[in-house]
Amino acid sequence: MKEKEIRAEGNVEYRFTHPDDFREHVRDRKGRNPASKLCSAGEAVETFVRDGDYIVYDFSSLTRGPQALVREVIRQRRKDLWIGAEFTLHESSLLVGAGCASRIDVGFLGYGNYIGRAVCAGRVRVYEWTNGGLALRILAGARGVPFLPSRDLLGSDNMKVSAARTIEDPYTGGPVCVVPALNPDVAFLHVHQADETGNARIFGTNLFALEAALASFRVVVSAEEIIETDEFRKDPMRTTIPFFLVDAVVHAPFGAYPGAMPARYEIDLDHVDRLNSLDTDERMRAYLEENVYSVSDHEEFLDRRVGAKRMRDLRRRATIVEGYR
Amino acid sequence: MKEKEIRAEGNVEYRFTHPDDFREHVRDRKGRNPASKLCSAGEAVETFVRDGDYIVYDFSSLTRGPQALVREVIRQRRKDLWIGAEFTLHESSLLVGAGCASRIDVGFLGYGNYIGRAVCAGRVRVYEWTNGGLALRILAGARGVPFLPSRDLLGSDNMKVSAARTIEDPYTGGPVCVVPALNPDVAFLHVHQADETGNARIFGTNLFALEAALASFRVVVSAEEIIETDEFRKDPMRTTIPFFLVDAVVHAPFGAYPGAMPARYEIDLDHVDRLNSLDTDERMRAYLEENVYSVSDHEEFLDRRVGAKRMRDLRRRATIVEGYR
Amino acid sequence: MPRKVEFTDTEFMIVQGARLIEDGKTLFVGWGIPQVVAMLAQRLYVPNVTQLFEFGAVGPRPVLPFVRGTMGGPQNTYRSLQWLNMNWAFSFSAAGYMDYGMLGAAQVDPYGNINSTCLGGTFEKPERRFAGSGGGNQVASHCWKTIIIMKHEGRRFVPKLDFLTSPGYLDGPGAREKAGLPRGTGPYRVVTSKGLFGFDGESRRMTLLSVLRGIPVREVLDGMAFRPLLADPVGEADPPTEEELRVLREEIDPGRFIIRGERML
Amino acid sequence: MPRKVEFTDTEFMIVQGARLIEDGKTLFVGWGIPQVVAMLAQRLYVPNVTQLFEFGAVGPRPVLPFVRGTMGGPQNTYRSLQWLNMNWAFSFSAAGYMDYGMLGAAQVDPYGNINSTCLGGTFEKPERRFAGSGGGNQVASHCWKTIIIMKHEGRRFVPKLDFLTSPGYLDGPGAREKAGLPRGTGPYRVVTSKGLFGFDGESRRMTLLSVLRGIPVREVLDGMAFRPLLADPVGEADPPTEEELRVLREEIDPGRFIIRGERML
């Protein structure tokens, strides 16, 4: 079984898994028993993230991103990661700057100068799938089909630097774009609430949370709150992800910091401005040393680098709660 | 523009709309202005349902089905309708028995003997897409693509009596099934709550409510309650359908009767048993005369054929409300 | 030594089905008898099974007693973990998350192919018309192990189906994969009111595994229009226990909508 | 007679964009300046426009003042009619429900093709790298009328793009349809800090429609590396009104994160 096939078309590499291979992984390795999957961020990354893995996440660096998990990946010095970068703002910079990531499927590759310069210097390879194309690839992976069609990408240069193809639609005879299914090795999802078995709730919009959970070999959920399973059964419309798609549950309050968690805490703009200003390797190293390597885990980071007072203030500034429940 | 193209492959007719033709209908005929679309069931059917139309609905005859709208279609004696019958239990019997429908895409064609006999007698043509195939066709219509692929139907006789086809997957080289997009003329959706402009909420599961609303030329929503638009803005996660997909809003309390409306009223099993017992044209005619033709509208039907006491009892029996809000 | 108890053929069929499911697995539940099987199994044997209904109820805990004729209603979708829709439900099965699927059938052939569409005549004008696939085709195509549950009646076991609604092993070994169906899937058991069948690992042909204790193998075979393979030896299935019957009759179906049938033993 | 007011090139650009949108229509809003344009338009001119963000916010009413750097946060998705996800958002546009799309660009060519990916060098090692398409390709592919909004700088108007990120009319009349893009779609206007462009109905080439009152046409053309067609006559665009500026400066962007720029007039 070739779980992690990397294919190439011309200069373009792309990750592809035959649906049958993914299905067999699901059959043999995903647990449908509602056991506790609670562990620390360190344990989750140790167990479920390997060198060379393809990683996706939801939502963005600024809103509900899995920042605690990304910092843990850097702390554990994973190598040669491939990022499916839908809204990658600072994660890409940090993961490339820390030497963890070598390939990025774009997406939206913002912002700050660091990542742009890394691309220009050839320190990271990029492929252009566009946001819609990546979301569609993950939907294909989630639906167990090898591809899905769309009517975009056509006519653009993205088709030359991705493995999207044009085929003849069997019903109209016209050209349609197809993209190959994507089954990431790892999906990181930071959520508002989860239970120990992995049932999870996101409040607000998402990119492709359920799609990514279905499509990924390993799913790590980090959650602001751990709640009882019974709460999910009382309100099934609020469930975003059912437990049997999930491999690990990490209780990570302030797990999206320095981004915002809607209705829980606001973005720390001072910290984000510092991230935006990381334009040299020297500054990058200093940032990583201070915020990642010099602290042993997320909790120590919160205690020593953020602090209760700032967390209190950020919580207080999250004044919009309507709809997030 | 061929809005309503009926294609044939061998003996198999199927409904197909080029995505460009559907898009132009949306551009020119769907209103994005949040004006009131409130009207009576009679007006909605008069304006939006035509002879020869292809109709889909959600959910089933027994749960949250658009029964008031179906009865109005019969009352207005539409002809030659084509039904996309995902969970058609009594609707098919009634629509065929009343001479309104001549073709059914199946789906699940239950139950009672009437509809089975009508098929055997050749009084209605049926095509077999399966539930998954029909849901996928509507998803394709909603996504603006001419087809979608899947890994079912393959090897079955459904492929001989539908226009599903096998193509070679461009990424694995293996066979996959494709089904053509379906853009129904009309979608009937009975919902818990709607505002006058068409924003709508369904509580509980659905078949393809949002897909059908996106994919259909004309969308008629009937609602147990009419609420203020502001309520939708306070809780955007609860919205099932946004207003600009909707053409008409009908305030129809007990609109799913004799089926159940989850958390509002229970199924009327006595009435359903009568529906199940309609096995001859004579009984069918008597049922239709009593429950459709002899009453001028849904409200008169409720007053004279159901009655406040029965409605009160059915409401009282809807004791499960958890999660439906 | 157990007392002899009276039960119906339907009760035995349901009980056999319920004994097949593993705990901590997922079960795609078809309309009708499979609903009752799932209830009995979860109540007695597999508390941590996760049921899935095709219209998007994930992990429901149906209210007992069973409410007839309303699979999608609040009673049957009670206390679900998640409420979604049909395209999501079939994504779960297509992506490999569903261990078991359970379906009824009007006809079944030696390769476990299912007809639930029509009998006799032509497809356009059959002699009898049934509900059709519903989501049965998807369940039989996608789930790892499909369980077919049906009364043991001669006209149901046929060498050739009048219509192939949901795929078994099609025309033999490798045929599913060749057709493009997911690898490693297929019919697992056929549960009837008289016995239990599996499928031979090589020939993929239906194989009689066991019969209800006290019923001669010959009687089971006489009720079939083709001859299945026979396990060596053909086992004996225990009749329903008193506890199984009590739960079925008192908790699940006191109205006897489902469990009525021919009396046995 | 209106008094002369001072404003920035960015303010003029935003105001021009806001004046283009029709009320009672849908608008697919890109990241950054388009967000502010949509806010101003909805506040002053088109109360019943329905905004759509690519991550699934349908009909949001963003909180004023504008909060920078967090399009997906509670402020910008406030009071949406519906919260969905990305695959649904692009279904709305693909199925034809989005009247207008509004996007920024690093480069644009005479056919309204957009580059927002990279400049110079090769794709693998460019001289400058931008964010890439994001959802821009989908917006430009699907929406009925795409509006491009960008500063009027010479290096941005080029005869040939370094990378074609989001499709305009590709290489001319009929090319979009031939490529398989939805019929009848394409770039509608290019809004800059000095003027407004459309596209010729036959040749599909960019056409200067109007310039900011007081700016010579020549100055606008000098800022471009290709020569657009000229409307006959080229019109004059009104500078921002006091009310437009007041709303922009006091209600929408008091922190001047977006509206700062070169001073004009």
pLDDT tens profile B168-202: 999 999 999 999 999 999 999 999 999 999 999 99
Question: What's the pLDDT at B61?
Answer: 87
CB contacts under 8 A, D 135-194 vs B, are 142, 144, 182-184
Q: How confident is the model over B118-177, as pLDDT tens digits?
A: 999 999 999 999 999 999 999 999 999 999 999 999 999 999 999 999 999 999 999 999
Suggest the residue from C28, C61, C84, C86 to mutate for an interface test with chain B (most B CBs closer than 10 A).
C86
Residues of chain A with C-beta less than 8 angstroms from the C-beta of D141: 151-154
For chain B, give the mean pLDDT: 96
* A16 bridge partner residues: A5
* D and B interact (at least 3 Cβ pairs within 8 A): yes
- Asked if the model's pLDDT at residue A10 lies above 90, the reply is no
- The domain limits of chain A are 3-317
CA-nearest residue to B232 within chain D is D81
With bands split at pLDDT 50, 70 and 90, how would you rate the model's confidence at A93? very high
Q: Is the dihedral angle over the CA atoms B146, B151, B154, B158 positive or is it negative? A: negative
Residues of chain C with C-beta less than 8 angstroms from the C-beta of A22: 95-96
What amino acid occupies position B140?
Answer: A
Within an 8 Å CB–CB cutoff, is residue C118 touching chain B? yes
CB contact under 8 A, A86 and D86: yes
Question: What's the pLDDT at B222?
Answer: 98
CB contact under 8 A, D180 and A106: no
Suggest the residue from D53, D61, D63, D70 to mutate for an interface test with chain A (most A CBs closer than 10 A).
D70
Within an 8 Å CB–CB cutoff, is residue B147 touching chain C? no
Q: Is the Cβ–Cβ distance between B144 and D96 less than 8 Å?
A: yes
Name the minimum distance, in Å, from the CA of B130 to any CA of chain C.
5
Active site residues of D: 54
CB pairs under 8 A between B and D: 94
For chain D, the distance separating the N- and C-terminal CA atoms, rounded to the nearest angstrom, is 16
Q: Is the Cβ–Cβ distance between A184 and A54 less than 8 Å?
A: yes
Cα–Cα dist A298/A286, whole Å: 18
The pair of structure tokens assigned to D99 is 């009247």
Q: How confident is the model over C61-99, as pLDDT tens digits?
A: 999 998 877 788 999 999 999 999 999 999 999 999 999
Name the minimum distance, in Å, from the CA of B46 to any CA of chain C.
30
For chain A, give the mean pLDDT: 96
With bands split at pLDDT 50, 70 and 90, how would you rate the model's confidence at B290? very high
By a Cβ cutoff of 8 Å, what residues of chain B touch chain A?
Answer: 16, 18-19, 143-151, 165, 167, 169-172, 174, 176, 178, 180-181, 203-204, 234-238, 322-323
Average pLDDT over residues C147-151: 96
Site of tokens 């004791």: B319
The three-state (H, E, C) secondary structure of chain D, written as one string: CCCCCCEEHHHHHHHHHHHHCCCCCEEEECCCHHHHHHHHHHHHCCCCCEEECCCCEECCCCCCCCCCCCCCCCCCCCCCCEECCHHHHHHHHHCCCCCEEEECCCEECCCCCEECCEECCCCCCCCEECCCCCCHHHHHHHCCEEEEECCCCHHHECCCCCCCCECCCCCCCCHHHHHCCCCCCCEEEEECCCEEEEECCCCCCEEEEEEECCCCHHHHHHCCCCCCEEEEEEEEECCCCHHHHHHHHHHHCCCCCCCCCCEEC
Question: What's the pLDDT at B3?
Answer: 61
Question: What's the pLDDT at B223?
Answer: 98
| Number of neighbouring beta carbons within 10 Å of residue D16 | 25
CB contact under 8 A, D96 and B26: yes
Cα–Cα dist B225/B90, whole Å: 25
- Asked if the model's pLDDT at residue B4 lies above 90, the reply is no
Question: What's the pLDDT at A2?
Answer: 59
Question: What is the ipTM metric for this complex?
Answer: 0.98
Strands (E), A110-269: 125-128, 147-150, 165-168, 175-180, 186-194, 200-201, 218-226, 248-251
CB contact under 8 A, A209 and D135: no
With bands split at pLDDT 50, 70 and 90, how would you rate the model's confidence at C265? low
Suggest the residue from C81, C88, C93 to mutate for an interface test with chain A (most A CBs closer than 10 A).
C81
CB contact under 8 A, B63 and C90: no
Question: pTM above 0.90?
Answer: yes
* D and C interact (at least 3 Cβ pairs within 8 A): no
> Closest by alpha carbon to B132, among A252, C86, C196?
C86
Question: What's the pLDDT at C2?
Answer: 53
Residues of chain B with C-beta less than 8 angstroms from the C-beta of C63: 320
- Asked if the model's pLDDT at residue B50 lies above 70, the reply is yes
- Asked if the model's pLDDT at residue B19 lies above 80, the reply is yes
What amino acid occupies position C98?
Answer: M
Within an 8 Å CB–CB cutoff, is residue C134 touching chain B? yes
Name the minimum distance, in Å, from the CA of D56 to any CA of chain B.
11
Q: Which fold has domain B3-317?
A: Glutaconate Coenzyme A-transferase (3.40.1080)
Question: What's the pLDDT at D2?
Answer: 53
| Number of neighbouring beta carbons within 10 Å of residue B292 | 19
Average pLDDT over residues B238-246: 98
pLDDT in tens, chain D (265 residues): 455 789 999 999 999 999 999 999 999 999 989 999 999 999 999 999 999 999 999 999 999 998 877 788 999 999 999 999 999 999 999 999 999 999 999 999 999 999 999 999 999 999 999 999 999 999 999 999 999 999 998 789 999 999 999 999 999 999 999 999 999 999 999 999 999 999 999 999 999 999 999 999 999 999 899 999 999 999 999 999 999 999 999 999 999 988 888 887 5
Cα–Cα dist D228/D206, whole Å: 5
- Asked if the model's pLDDT at residue A208 lies above 60, the reply is yes
Average pLDDT over residues A222-240: 98
Minimum-distance CB partner of C70 among B135, B154, B267: B267
Cis peptide before D167 (omega within 30 of 0): no
The neighbours of chain D, by the rule of 3 or more Cβ pairs under 8 Å, are: A, B
CB contacts under 8 A, A 237-266 vs C, are 237, 239, 242-245
Minimum-distance CB partner of A19 among B148, B151, B181: B151
Active site residues of C: 54
Q: How confident is the model over B96-107, as pLDDT tens digits?
A: 999 999 999 999
Which domains are seen in chain D, by residue range? Answer: 9-252 (3.40.1080.10)
CA-nearest residue to C175 within chain B is B155
Strand order in the sheet with D50-52: D82-83, D57-58, D50-52, D26-29, D100-103, D145-149, D187-191, D195-199, D206-212, D229-237
Cα–Cα dist B68/B70, whole Å: 6
Angle at D74 between CA D68 and CA D80, to 5 degrees: 115
Name the minimum distance, in Å, from the CA of A46 to any CA of chain D.
30
Question: What's the pLDDT at C69?
Answer: 72
Residues of chain B with C-beta less than 8 angstroms from the C-beta of C170: 155
Strands (E), A123-276: 125-128, 147-150, 165-168, 175-180, 186-194, 200-201, 218-226, 248-251
Residues of chain A with C-beta less than 8 angstroms from the C-beta of B145: 149-151, 176
Name the minimum distance, in Å, from the CA of D129 to any CA of chain B.
30
Residues of chain B with C-beta less than 8 angstroms from the C-beta of C69: 62, 267, 269, 272
Minimum-distance CB partner of C25 among A25, A32, A142: A32
Average pLDDT over residues A193-207: 97
Cα–Cα dist B167/C94, whole Å: 18
Reduced to 3 states (helix: H, G, I; strand: E, B; else coil), residue A130 is: helix
Cα–Cα dist D56/D77, whole Å: 9
Strands (E), chain C: 7-8, 26-29, 50-52, 57-58, 82-83, 100-103, 107-108, 114-115, 118-119, 128-129, 145-149, 187-191, 195-199, 206-212, 229-237, 263-264
Cα–Cα dist A249/A126, whole Å: 31
Higher confidence at residue B89 or residue B270? B270
Name the minimum distance, in Å, from the CA of A122 to any CA of chain D.
6
Reduced to 3 states (helix: H, G, I; strand: E, B; else coil), residue A237 is: helix
CB contact under 8 A, C74 and B136: no
Average pLDDT over residues C44-55: 98
Minimum-distance CB partner of B143 among D24, D48, D95: D95
CB contact under 8 A, B148 and A148: yes
Within an 8 Å CB–CB cutoff, is residue A99 touching chain C? no
Within an 8 Å CB–CB cutoff, is residue B187 touching chain D? no
Name the minimum distance, in Å, from the CA of C104 to any CA of chain B.
13
Name the minimum distance, in Å, from the CA of C123 to any CA of chain B.
8
